Amino acid sequence: MGEFELIERFFTRPARHAALGVGDDCALLMPSAGMQMAISTDMLVESRHFLQGADPRLLGHKALAVNLSDLAACGARPLAFTLALALPRADEDWLAAFSAGLFALADRHQCDLIGGDTTAGPLAICITVFGEVPAGRALLRSGARAGDDVYVSGTLGDARLALDALTGRRALGSAALATARARLEQPTPRVALGLALRGVASAAIDVSDGLVGDLGHILAASGVGACIDTSVAIDLLAICEDSAFAAATIDAQIRLDCVLAGGDDYELAFCAAPTARAAVGAAAAQAGTRVTRIGRIEAAPGLRLVDGQGRAVAAPRLRPFDHFAR
Ligand code: ADP
Ligand code: MG
């Protein structure tokens, strides 16, 4: 199977949103009147972002999910994406599973694959997504104001627990591992929530590198600080909701570390004025996604972690992920 047969068989489908899809030198997108285009790129590299031998169907899902998560954080509606693939070999079974996982998620969001590049090389997957948002209404990192509430969607920390279990650094019961592993391997991009939060949230970001680090980006961009209640945050793990899971079997400090700094969560962290609490609740209900209020924006810069009584709590021992940190 040559390069062009590979593209034709596994990656060519009719485009719905694009004026021109796969097959020419460029794809053509037609922005709607009054809309801004939201564009984001994310790359997944074997052994860096996923373990060697990872299930290709899950990989196809995740490669697109992490990109859709960026659109969600901006409140943008997905339209289309491009796919740049480096493959060690043209393995038909791998390609069939990868494209099935990829297109299943793409179809759920009516997001068209409109082009890409395919080359031999060490396994790497790079996707660029294109979305649209009414001009001036994108959710940005820079809009948080002192007094705003701080929220997160869904659950946090399970992906890190699963990674640590899969790499032998931590033991996890089989039911808890199954739940945590689904969060690591099949994250759900919060696209519907991002759309529903337009005009409600003052600032938003998707949590990919850990809550503390990513919330820090909102604080820096907005020129504010925040106080987070760790007594609420500690129960945000999905496995804590499992009836089979006894929270006591995992040390509280480890649970908190994973929630605050685990990474790979792909939830939204966002801020909204206290007057918008009902609107936040309505947005969450409309999107079918749980949101939890975990703290408050303050004028003084920096992030403060407190317990249920307002006493200071030590920073998580896990540091935000940084590819070039030493
Ligand atoms: P060019 O040489 O002009 O860059 P290519 O020969 O690399 O074009 O690709 C041919 C067509 O196939 C282009 O339309 C390109 O966007 C598309 N394409 C290549 N790889 C992929 C892929 N992995 N997924 C989707 N479309 C692809
Ligand atoms: Mg090319």
Inside any domain, residue 170: yes
Distance between CA atoms of residues 29 and 13, nearest Å: 16
One domain, residues 122 and 157: no
Q: Are 303 and 226 in contact (CB under 8 A)?
A: yes
Q: Are 60 and 193 in contact (CB under 8 A)?
A: no
User: In the structure, which protein residues have their CB atom closer than 6 angstroms to any atom of ligand 1?
Assistant: 7, 11, 22-25, 83, 85, 113, 115-118
In CATH, what number is assigned to the domain containing residue 24?
Answer: 3.30.1330.10
CB 270 within 8 A of CB 215: no
From 107, 134, 161, give the residue that closes a domain.
134
Using alpha carbons only, how large is the chain's radius of gyration in Å?
20
Where does 18-61 show beta strands of DSSP type E?
18-20, 28-29, 35-45
Residues 193 and 281 in one domain: yes
Same domain, 183 and 106: no
In a domain, 321, yes or no: no
CA 17 – ligand 2 centroid, Å: 22
Using the 8-state DSSP alphabet, how is residue 272 labeled?
E
Same structural domain, 34 and 168:
no
Q: Is residue 315 part of a domain?
A: no
- Ligand at minimal distance from the CA of 117 is 1
In a domain, 326, yes or no: no
Q: What is the DSSP string of 118-160?
A: EEESS-EEEEEEEEEEETT----GGG--TT-EEEEES--SHHH
Domains of the chain: total: 2
Ligand 1 atom nearest 117 alpha carbon: 20
- pLDDT of 243 reads 67
The structure tokens listed for 108 are 């759920």
Same domain, 78 and 202: no
The CA distance from 301 to 295, in Å, is 14
Question: 225: which strand partners?
Answer: 298, 302
Is 278 contained in some domain? Answer: yes
Domain that holds residue 83: 3-134
Same structural domain for residues 165 and 118? no
Instruction: Using the Cα atoms of residue 181, residue 161, residue 272 and residue 38 in order, give the sign of their dihedral.
Output: negative
In this structure, are 156 and 286 located in the same domain?
yes
CATH of the domain at 208: 3.90.650.10
Q: What is the pLDDT along the chain (326 residues), one digit of tens a residue?
A: 899 999 999 999 988 888 899 999 999 998 899 999 999 999 999 999 999 999 999 999 999 999 999 999 999 999 999 999 999 999 999 999 999 999 999 999 999 999 999 999 999 999 999 999 999 999 999 999 999 999 999 999 999 999 999 989 988 888 899 999 999 999 999 999 999 999 999 999 999 999 999 999 999 999 999 999 999 999 999 998 876 777 667 888 999 999 999 999 999 999 999 999 999 999 999 999 999 999 999 999 999 999 999 999 998 888 766 667 65
Answer whether residue 236 is part of any domain. Answer: yes
Per the domain annotation, does 38 fall within a domain?
Answer: yes
Nearest Cα residue to atom 11 of ligand 1: 23
Residue 105 within a domain: yes
